[in-house]
Structure 1
Amino acid sequence: MYQKTVLRNGIRVVTEKIPYVYSVSTGIWVGVGSRDEQEGERGITHFIEHMLFKGTRRRSALDIAKELDAVGGFANAFTSKEHVCFHAKVLDRHMPLVVDVLTDIFLNSVFAPQDIEREQQVVLQEIRMIEDTPDEFVHVLFQELFWKQNPLGLPIYGTAEAVAGTDRESILRYLSQTFHPEEIVVAAAGNLEHDHFVDLVAPSLEKLDHSVHRPPREKPVNHPGIHVMEKDLEQVHLVLGLQGVSQSEDNRFPCHLLNVILGNSMSSRLFQEIREKRGLAYSVYSFLNSHADTGMLGVYAGITPENIEESLQVIRQQLDLLAAEPISEAELSAAKEYLRGSMYLNAESTDSRMNRLAKNEFLFGRFIPFEDVEEKILAVDAKSVQSWFQSVYDPRDAGLFLFGPTGHTRESVEKIFLAQG
């Protein structure tokens, strides 16, 4: 059962009671992410995410860890382009403890200078780790090219220079300017009573009174084009990107189904054509990066240099085919079952249910029943999938990035990719 309460300062509290489970997953969400950072603040949201577990006026970092360990629970946090979330999961009888810990770190973290200095080294190691993982780093580089001149295209972790320049004063200033009550959603799912949960969170969170609003987000403009970056690696990492869908537009359902058919499952066209039939790549998939106001439909493949030309040709052929011919009813039906099955399997996790509560509140301001989503998925026909893809697909509007020992120039890649069809 879903319930919602708005606290006096505008913080929204949403819960879903699941009486047959033994746990409660709780998250404090803020509708602020790396795309909301100004010049000179790059990476500060992610850095604050790290710092909120380093001690409060009542608890040291060790105290926080020991209290949750003592009840078999765990806490964590994450930062995305549009949100930061601090969350924890415990047995239902320990819900008061987890609420006390989360609200304490959210409101009362001390940000001691020595902890900031120590955590800067940790985050710098995280940045280096990502840059040493080319199949992850290529996506960071590609987004910077595809959404250049917009913060949405910049990495969540910021830059080494910005992280090194973060201090206590800049953290406190950023918090006062971004963690506005009306941008905060507290979500909980599990075996709980809504009114009891509100009674636990309200006394502390209603004291938050930050009044500064950030400037509105600027929707990014796509920058298509072909780019090649030589790097001494074992593989060439290829990313292709097209206009996708936002998280709330109606076309998200045809787009998600097309993504499953194109490359987001083992039976997908790209997986079968590139890996199974030709052995051109071990890792190949399509993906969706959806945000509040835009999105990207993309393809990734890790290939050897000698397979670049054939891989590009197959990718182009499969994209052309999706635009030219409606998908079969059998393929569409299988994709619908894939999405429906994924949705309901995820629903068995209280963490997943908590995440879904918060995201629906940010996007739609209400709870979206699973049955409504299922109905939308089942209503999609082959023609609407094709029509949506035709509206966004033009090879000249694609972004294409090759990273590794390519042995190619931009012109030679352009000739291979755009000469197809």
Structure 2
Amino acid sequence: MYQKTVLRNGIRVVTEKIPYVYSVSTGIWVGVGSRDEQESERGITHFIEHMLFKGTQRRTALDIAKELDAVGGFANAFTSKEHVCFHAKVLDTHLPLVVDVLTDIFLNSVFAPQEIEREQQVVLQEIRMIEDTPDEFVHVLFQEMFWKNNPLGLPIYGTAETVARTDRESILRYLDRTFHPEQIVVAAAGNLEHDRFVDLVAPSLETLNHRERRADRKKPSIHPAIQVIEKELEQVHLCLGLKGVAQTDENRFPCHILNVILGNSMSSRLFQEIREKRGLAYSVYSFLNSHADTGMLGVYAGIAPENIEETLKLIRQQLDLLATEPIPETELAAAKEYLRGSMYLNAESTDSRMNRLAKNEFLFDRFIPFEEVEEKIMAVDAGSIQEWFQSVYHPQRMGLLLLGPAGLKEAHLENILLEKE
């Protein structure tokens, strides 16, 4: 059962009671992320995510870890382009403790200078780790290119220079400017009573009264460039992308189904054509990056340098087929069932249910039943998928980035992508 309460300062509290489980997953969400940072603040949201577990006026970092470990609980946090979330999962009997810990770190973290200095080194190692992981780093580079001149395209973790400049004063200024109560959602899913949960969170969270509000976001334009970044690696990491859908776009249902068919499952067209039939790649898939106001549909492949041209031609061939030929009914039905099954299997996790509660509140300001989503998925036909894809698929509007020992020029890659002689 879903329930919602708005606290006196505008913080929204949403819960879903699941009486047959023994756990509760709780998260404090803020609707700000890396795309809301100013130039001098790059990476500060992610840095704050780290710092909130480093001690409060009442608890040391060790105290926080010990209290949750003592009840078999789990706490963590994450930062995205548009949100930061501090969350925990415990047995339902320990809900008062986890609420006390989460609200304490959220409201009362001290941001001690010595802890900031220590955590700067941790984040710098995280940045280096990502840059040393080419199948992950290629996505970072591609987004910078595709959403050029917009904060949405910049890496969540910032740069070594901006992380090194972060101090207590800049953190407090950023919190005051962005962590406005109306940007905060507290979500919980599991074996809990809504009114009791509100009684637990309200006394502390209602004291929050930041006066500033997050600045309006600038919607990015796409920059469909072709870029080769030569690097000594064993493989070439290929990332190709085109305009996708926003998270609230009604075309998200045709887009998600197309993504499953294109490359988001083992039976998908790209996986079968590139890996299974030809052995050109171990890892090949399509993906969706959807945000509040825009999105990207992309393809990734890790390949040998000599297989770049053939792989690109196969990707282009599969995209052409989706634009020109209706998806067969059996393939369409299988993709729908894949999405339906994934949705209901994820629903068995209280963490997943908590995440879903918060995201729907931010995007739609309401709870969306699973049955409503299922109905939307099942209503999609081959014609609507093809119609949507034809509206966004223009080869000259695709971006392409290669990371590794490619040995090819951008002009040559453009000829392949546009099927020029």
TM-score with structure 2 setting the length: 0.99
Residue aligning to 1:416:
416
Instruction: Measure, in 2, the Cα distance between the counterparts of 1:35 and 1:225.
Output: 21
Q: In 1, Cα distance between the equivalents of 2:280 and 2:362?
A: 41
The range that moved more, 218-227 or 4-13, is 218-227
* Counterpart-to-counterpart distance in 2, 1:194 and 1:156: 34
Q: Which amino acid aligns with 1:122?
A: V
2:226, 2:94 → 1: CA distance?
A: 54
Residue 111 (structure 1) aligns with:
111
SS of the residue aligned with 2:20?
Answer: coil
The letter for the 2-side match of 1:65 is: A
Quick one: distance in 1 between partners of 2:213 and 2:295?
Answer: 25
Partner of 2:97: 97
Question: How far off is 1:213 after superposition?
Answer: 1.2
Deviates more, 1:228-237 or 1:252-261: 228-237
Q: Which residue of 1 aligns with 2:30?
A: 30
Tell me by how many angstroms 1:309 deviates: 0.7
SS at match of 1:40: helix
Q: In the aligned structure 1, how far is the partner of 2:166 from the partner of 2:87?
A: 24
Structure 1 stretches of 5 or more lacking a match?
none
Partner of 2:123: 123
Q: Which residue pairs with 1:333 in the alignment? A: 333
Q: Tell me how far apart the structure 2 counterparts of residues 420 and 339 of structure 1 sit (CA, whole Å).
A: 37
Determine the structure 1 residue equivalent to 2:168: 168
**Residues 225-374 of structure 1 aligned to structure 2 (within 5 Å):** 225-374=225-374
User: In structure 1, what is the Cα distance between the partners aligned to 2:225 and 2:124?
Assistant: 31
The separation in 1 between residues aligned to 2:366 and 2:294, in whole angstroms, is 21
For residue 28 of structure 1, report the CA deviation from its aligned partner.
0.1
CA-CA distance at 1:253 after TM superposition: 0.1
Specify the alignment match of 1:209 in structure 2: 209
| Match status 1:84 vs 2:84 | yes
Equivalent AA in structure 1 for residue 57 of structure 2: R
Paired residue type of 1:299: V
Amino acid at match of 2:190: G
Asked whether the 8 Å contact 1:225–1:396 carries over to 2, the reply is no
Aligned letter for 2:189?
A
The Cα offsets for residues 102-130 of structure 1, whole Å up to 9 and x where unpaired, read as: 00000000000000000000000000000
Q: Distance in 2 between matches of 1:7 and 1:420?
A: 60
1:46-75 per-position Cα deviation (integer Å, ceiling 9, x unaligned): 000000000000000000000000000010
Cα deviation for residue 419 of structure 1 reads 1.3
CA RMSD of aligned residues (A): 0.7
CA shift at 1:215, angstroms? 1.6
Q: Secondary structure at the match of 2:286?
A: strand
Q: Which amino acid is the alignment partner of residue 395 of structure 2?
A: P
Tell me if the contact between 1:317 and 1:420 (Cα under 8 Å) persists in the aligned partners: no
User: What pairs up with 1:135-150 in 2 under 5 angstroms?
Assistant: 135-150=135-150
Write the distance in 1 (CA, Å) between the matches of 2:260 and 2:214.
36
Distance 1:420 1:90 in 2: 59
CA distance in 2, matches of 1:255, 1:225: 23
User: Are 2:236 and 2:303, in contact at CA under 8 Å, matched by a contact in 1?
Assistant: yes
Residue 406 (1) aligns with residue 370 (2) = no
Q: Is the 8 A contact 1:313 1:420 kept in 2?
A: no
Quote the residue 1:47 is aligned against. 47
Distance 2:404 2:414 in 1: 17
Distance of 1:382 and 1:212 partners within structure 2 = 47
For the residue of structure 1 that corresponds to 2:189, the secondary structure is strand
Q: CA deviation at 1:214?
A: 2.3
**Percentage identity across paired residues of the two chains:** 84
Q: In structure 2, what is the equivalent of residue 15 of structure 1? A: 15
Is the Cα contact below 8 Å between 1:24 and 1:190 reproduced in 2? yes
Deviation per CA, 1:345-386: give whole Å up to 9, x if none: 000000000000000000000000000000000000000000
Distance in 1 (alpha carbons) for counterparts of 2:359 and 2:341 = 20
Shift of residue 420, structure 1, vs aligned partner: 6.3
* d(CA) in 1 for partners of 2:380, 2:124: 45
Q: Which amino acid aligns with 1:36?
A: D
User: What SS is found at the alignment partner of 1:354?
Assistant: helix
Give 4+ residue runs of structure 1 displaced > 3 Å after superposition: none
In structure 2, stretches of 5+ residues that fail to align are none
Aligned-partner Cα distance in 2 for 1:246–1:56 = 38
Residues in 1 aligned to 2:265 and 2:47: alpha-carbon distance in whole angstroms? 34
Q: Report SS of the residue matched to 1:53.
A: coil
Distance 1:138 1:418 in 2: 22
Contact 1:71/1:90, CA 8 A, preserved across alignment = yes
**Paired positions, count:** 421
Contact 2:32 2:214 in 1 (8 A): no
User: 1: CA distance between counterparts of 2:407 and 2:20?
Assistant: 58
Distance 2:233 2:295 in 1: 29
Contact 1:222 / 1:243 at 8 angstroms: preserved in 2?
A: yes
**Residue 60 (structure 1) aligned with residue 57 (structure 2):** no
Equivalents in 2 of 1:141, 1:389: separation in Å? 25
Aligned to 1:75: 75
TM-score normalised by L of structure 1: 0.99
Supply the distance in 2 between the matched residues of 1:412 and 1:231 (Cα, whole angstroms): 19
